[in-house]
Amino acid sequence: MDSEKHVLTMLVDNEPGVLSRVVGLFGGRGYNIESLCVAETVDPLISRITITTKANAPLCEQIEKQLRKLVNVIKVRDLSGNNAVKREMALICVRAKSADRAEIQRIVDIFRCKVVDVGPEFYIVEVTGDEDKINALINLLKPLGIKKIARTGMIALFREPR
Amino acid sequence: MELNGAQILMKTLQEEGVDTIFGFPGGAVIDIYHALVRTPIRHVLARHEQGAVHAADGYARASGKVGVCLVTSGPGATNTVTGIATAFADSIPLVVITGQVPTHLIGNDAFQEVDIVGITRPCTKHNYLVKNTEDLARCVKEAFFIARTGRPGPVLIDIPKNVASRIVAYQPPAKVRLRAYRPTYSPNPKQVQKAADLILAAQRPVIFAGGGVVLSGAAAELIELARANRIPVTASLMGLGAFPGTDPLWMGMIGMHGTFTANMSVAGCDLLIAVGVRFDDRVTGKTEAFAAQAHIVHIDIDPTSIRKNIPVEVPVVGDCRLTLKMLNEVLHAKGSNGGPSRDPWLGQIADWKCQRPLTYIKNHEIKPQYVVEKLYELTAGKALITTEVGQNQMWAAQFYAFDQPNQFISSGGLGTMGFGLPAAIGAQIACPDRLVVDVAGDGSIQMNIQELATAVENRLPIKVVILNNGYLGMVRQWQELFYDKCYACTGITHSPDFARLAEAYGAVGLRAERVEDVEPVLRQGLFSDRTVIMDFAVCREEGVYPMVPAGAPITEMLLV
């Protein structure tokens, strides 16, 4: 069976050690983590963890069940598919020689992202979007020289029924 | 009421019904021990923390209660890890209390500091580092609740020294409420209905019982299911005793060292009713060939056990006892009688039993199987048997027929050598009136032999039967069969004189070197009221058969 990308989002108790229980489960059982995002929710006692992983269907079922078994994991949902909003943010530090600045600005406009820091040699570009959009932007900026990059990893929310 | 943390701990332990603790003191738990000796709780001093956890484990398995263990920080805590992992693998309810350095020193590489919560995260059901004395009672209550409910398991509570010594105004904790922890006990009736229909339609059904039947107290329901519907029964190592070993429907253990009948029946059945099992690789062999012709019904309280290793058609998540009870009611209402259509299947099973029973070749030497057979005979099948791990464990499982659940106490999942002696200590304390026998090998007995002192000190009349072959026998057997008889480092060329060692500890030591000595030594040892070691010089290169090579289908057995 083919491995597919899954976006697992879970609500967990906002306590020390909970993240390491979740991450330890993945490490100990040989599951893969492609990206990981954690932050408090509107309830300060609860955090949301979003993990993207590659797994075939039975393995993903097993991962979800193993996660639910953790005493601090309140709810687990697989947000793969179109029924969820998925976003990622990246900060990209790109070389901005004066000859290239107009080109960078054009790309930034097309991608509806923004330049958030301007230096004599470099720009920092902030972009938000799904994974494909961010990858596309990175590919366009690469020839100009990307010095460093920080990506948040994916976060996702299930769309409420209309 | 003003109490310090240690007093709150004692109060809460007593509220949880704890009357026995296995432990070993140290600097970080002095306050707790100071409070402990002022309670009626019995403390059993082990000689090594690993022994303390295994003893608590044996106590839990024999009594059905939560076993409790108390040790100090640092090395005291790390010494418990093997015992905790053993209990975790076999789903045994334990609460392990470790001392910790004071909170202001945590993370400071303090003396005897170790991050035991971090170390045991993957081998506990849950664990706690208690940072405030105010949280202690709640954490202890939650720990017991988590340990004994759902699929049971060990829970560790790490208590810093200042949390134990600080005095606070004691507030009784509220009832345990865990937002995310709700094990499913009642099965989905639709799934039970489906299982019942499959049973009624089956011509060649087999029941496969595991440790879950023992843990949930479902033996009576299992017996009813099997007898009322005339279904033959096999079990995993952990399920031994869940169904009477003397019942005509019993086929013996399944798996790598299972009986010919059990392994063939699972390969040939058209319905496998798996109850409280997790389809371990030692049971299934090659998974693609396992029960390949059968519909599989899988009953277990832990959803992660289902479809982990084996695809199943009818999963039933629920407590084994409640599920079997419901299943029996449904079958009864549908008027199942196991009718004549089962006759050919039961006939086939009787033929297999007759053609290929468990057996061994007798000669002038002491055969280990003979010792276990005699042990069975002389104890009338009534002894509580613990085992070490390896050949001794398999011979005990094969040649002693267990009629009751909790009668066979063995490290099944983790396979921990050194488990049997301390487990026998715990079991004897849980069941003071029963005969408790540890079936051991000369290798594994030496892994926790220091606990003989614990047994003698507490006047525990446990019996240790050492099947002494001068080898780490199970590995030697693999080397013989699959590694060109290259016995790399498996010969035990020097061991103590176990009989004299026993005497040195204040126990009784006996030794048998000839076949005709076996029965007299057993008689003398078993009927003594003291701790006894019986050392049997057995045939050195005897193997455990049947044997399925690792990864082969379980029908590919090497036989005697």
Q: Do A51 and A27 have their domain in common?
A: yes
Residue contact A20–B122, C-beta within 8 A: no
pLDDT at B341 over 90: no
Query: Which residues span the domain enclosing A32?
Result: 4-78
Question: Tokens standing for B493?
Answer: 């060329």
Task: Give the domains, in start order, of chain B with CATH numbers.
Answer: 2-169 (3.40.50.970), 189-355 (3.40.50.1220), 368-537 (3.40.50.970)
The stretch A96-117 carries a mean pLDDT of 95
Rounded Cα gap, residues B245 and B239, in angstroms? 11
How deeply is B344 buried, as exposed, middle or buried, from its count of CB atoms within 10 A (0-12, 13-18, 19+)? exposed
The mean pLDDT of B266-289, rounded to a whole number, is 97
Of B74, B96, B75, which Cα lies nearest the Cα of B85? B96
Q: How far apart are CA B533 and CA B499, in angstroms?
A: 6
Percent of chain B whose pLDDT exceeds 70? 99
- CA separation for the pair B69, B429 (Å, rounded): 14
B22 three-class SS:
strand
Query: A38: domain CATH number?
Result: 3.30.70.260
Does residue A64 belong to any structural domain of this protein?
Answer: yes
Q: Supply the ipTM of this predicted assembly.
A: 0.92
CB contact under 8 A, B181 and A17: no
User: Angle at the Cα of A110 (from A108 to A113), degrees rounded to 5?
Assistant: 40
Q: What pLDDT, on the 0 to 100 scale, is given for residue B339?
A: 66
A96 is a domain residue: yes
A28 within a domain of the structure (yes/no): yes
Contact B180 A71 (CB under 8 A): yes
For an interface test with A, give the residue of B308, B310, B312, B317 to mutate (most A CBs within 10 A): B308
Strand (E) positions, chain A?
Answer: 4-13, 35-40, 46-55, 73-78, 84-95, 114-118, 122-129, 146-151, 155-158
B499 Cα distance to chain centroid: 28
Is B112 in the active site?
Answer: yes
B14 flagged as catalytic: no
How far is it, in rounded angstroms, from Cα B232 to Cα B253?
Answer: 12
Q: Which is catalytic among the residues B251, B264, B417, B474?
A: B474
Per the annotation, the verdict on B417 as an active-site residue is no
pLDDT (0 to 100) of residue B547: 98
From B7, B139, B131, B18, select the one nearest B69 (Cα to Cα): B18
What is the least distance, in Å, from the CA of B268 to any CA of chain A?
26
Residue A112 is part of a domain; what is its CATH number?
3.30.70.1150
The verdict on A27 and A93 lying in the same domain is: no
The reply to whether A68 and A94 lie within a common domain is no
Assess A13–B contact: CB distance below 8 Å, yes or no.
yes
Contact indicator for B425, B462 with CB cutoff of 8 Å: yes
How many whole angstroms separate alpha carbon B432 and alpha carbon B56?
15
Chain B residues in contact with A58 by the CB 8 A cut-off are 307
CA distance B304 to chain A (A): 6
* Structural domain contains residue A162: no
Question: In whole numbers, what is the pLDDT of chain A averaged over residues?
Answer: 95
Which DSSP string do the residues of B436-485 spell out, in sequence order? Answer: EEEEEETTGGGGSGGGHHHHHHTT---EEEEEE-SB-HHHHHHHHHHSTT
Please count the other Cβ atoms lying within 10 Å of the Cβ belonging to residue A9.
22
A35 touches chain B (CB under 8 A): no
From the list A125, A88, A120, the residue with the least C-alpha distance to A103 is A125
**Taking 90 as the threshold, does the pLDDT of residue B314 lie above it?**
yes
Do A75 and B180 lie within an 8 Å CB cutoff? yes
Does residue A70 share a domain with residue A9?
yes
Backbone dihedral angles phi then psi of residue B494, each to the nearest 5 degrees? -135, 125
Q: Which of B16, B49, B113, B142 is catalytic?
A: B49
pLDDT at residue B558, rounded to an integer: 96
Nearest CA in chain A to B301: A69
| A104 and A136 fall within a common domain | yes
Q: Compute the CA torsion angle B447, B451, B455, B457 (nearest 10 deg).
A: 160
B-chain CB neighbours of A49 within 8 Å are none
> How far is residue B542's CA from residue B471's CA, in Å, rounded to a whole number?
10
Instruction: Identify the burial level of B301 via C-beta atoms within 10 angstroms of its C-beta, where 0-12 means exposed, 13-18 middle and 19 or more buried.
Output: buried
Same domain, A38 and A101: no
Contact with chain B for residue A77, Cβ under 8 A: no
B298: pLDDT strictly greater than 90:
yes
Q: What is the pLDDT of residue A161?
A: 85
- pLDDT of B365 above 90: yes
Give the residue from A40, A60, A78 where a domain finishes.
A78
Same domain, yes or no, for A14 and A35? Answer: yes
| Assigned domain for A136 exists | yes
Does residue A58 sit at the B interface (CB-CB below 8 Å)? yes
Q: How far apart are CA A81 and CA A143, in angstroms?
A: 33
B474 catalytic? Reply is: yes
Please check whether residues A31 and A53 belong to one and the same domain.
Answer: yes
DSSP-derived letter for residue B548 is: P
Q: Find chain A residues with C-beta within 8 A of B179's C-beta.
A: 13, 74
Q: Is-contact B368 B391, C-beta < 8 A?
A: yes
Model confidence at B337: pLDDT above 70? no
Asked whether the beta carbons of B521 and B515 are under 8 A apart, the reply is no
**Structural domain count of chain A:** 2
What are B482-537's pLDDT values in tens digits?
999 999 999 999 999 999 999 999 999 999 999 999 999 999 999 999 999 999 99
CB contact set of B516 (below 8 Å; sequence gap of 6+): none
Same domain? For A67 and A113 the reply is no
- Residue B494 is predicted with a pLDDT of 94
Residues of chain B in contact with residue A74, where contact means CB-CB under 8 angstroms, are 179-180
pLDDT of res. A82: 82
Q: A48 and A95 share a domain?
A: no
CA-nearest of B383, B482, B484, B486 to B439 is B383
Is A95 part of a structural domain of the chain?
yes
Residues of B in contact with A20 (CB under 8 A): 118, 121
Average confidence (pLDDT) over B294-312: 96
Same domain, A94 and A60: no
How far does B180 lie from chain A, in Å, by closest CA?
4
Query: What does the H/E/C string look like for B47-98?
Result: CCHHHHHHHHHHHHHHHCCCEEEEECCCHHHHCCHHHHHHHHHCCCCEEEEE
pLDDT tens digits, residue range B106-157?
Answer: 999 999 999 999 999 999 999 999 999 999 999 999 999 999 999 999 999 9
Q: Is residue A142 part of a domain?
A: yes
Based on the domain organization, do A18 and A58 belong to the same domain? Answer: yes
Q: Of A78, A95, A122, which residue is a domain's last? A: A78
B40 preceded by cis ω (within 30°)? no
* Cα–Cα nearest to B44, from B384, B417, B423: B423
Of A78, A99, A120, which marks where a domain is finished? Answer: A78
Q: Note whether A9 and A77 are within 8 A (CB).
A: yes
What is the percentage of chain B residues whose pLDDT exceeds 90?
97
pLDDT surpasses 80 at A70 = yes
Q: Which residue of A has its CA nearest to B179?
A: A74
Q: Does A24 sit within 8 Å of B146, measured CB to CB?
A: no
Which residues of B lie closer than 8 Å to A, measured between beta carbons?
117-118, 121-122, 125-126, 129, 146, 178-181, 302-304, 307-308
Rg of the Cα atoms in chain A: 19
Task: Look at residue B429 in the predicted model and tell me its pLDDT.
Answer: 98
B338: pLDDT strictly greater than 80: no
Residue of B nearest to A57 (CA): B307
User: Can you list the alpha helix ranges (DSSP code H) found in B296-342?
Assistant: 320-333
pTM for the model stands at 0.96
Structural domain includes residue A30 = yes
Structure confidence at residue B335 (pLDDT) = 84
| Chain A residues near residue B149 by CB distance under 8 angstroms | none
